[in-house]
């Protein structure tokens, strides 16, 4: 992970992956005008999420890169817990 926004980035990816989310839902919950917290923009720039058209709705999906990031986080958490 690269910076302090990464914890929020992981939260966003996990939240999207947990349930079906429309683009409007994601924007209502995650859009910010704060230039220090560009979570949505970072997720897009890093290829962790994608927008797709489905049944006339704009949906947001986690990409394979996003799921891989979640898996790495989960395996890192397990390794840290085992070492404690």
Q: Which two tokens mark 11?
A: 């939260």
Q: How far apart are CA 25 and CA 61, in angstroms?
A: 12
Contact (CB, 8 A) for 79 and 46: no
Q: What pLDDT is stored for residue 35 in this prediction?
A: 72
Whether this model's pTM surpasses 0.85: no
13 and 69 Cβ atoms separated by less than 8 Å: yes
Strand positions, DSSP E, the chain: 21-22, 49-54, 57-62
How sure is the predictor about 6, in pLDDT bands with cuts at 50, 70 and 90?
Answer: confident
Write the pLDDT tens digit of every residue in 19-45: 999 999 999 988 777 776 688 989 999
């Amino acid at each position: 992970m690269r910076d302090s926004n990464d914890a929020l980035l992981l939260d966003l990816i996990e939240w999207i992956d947990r349930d079906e989310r429309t683009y409007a839902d994601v924007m209502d919950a995650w859009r910010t005008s704060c230039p220090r917290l560009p979570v949505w923009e970072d997720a897009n720039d890093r290829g962790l999420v994608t927008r797709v058209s489905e049944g006339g709705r704009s949906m947001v999906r986690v990409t394979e890169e996003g799921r891989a990031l979640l898996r790495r986080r989960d395996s890192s958490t397990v390794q840290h817990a085992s070492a404690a």
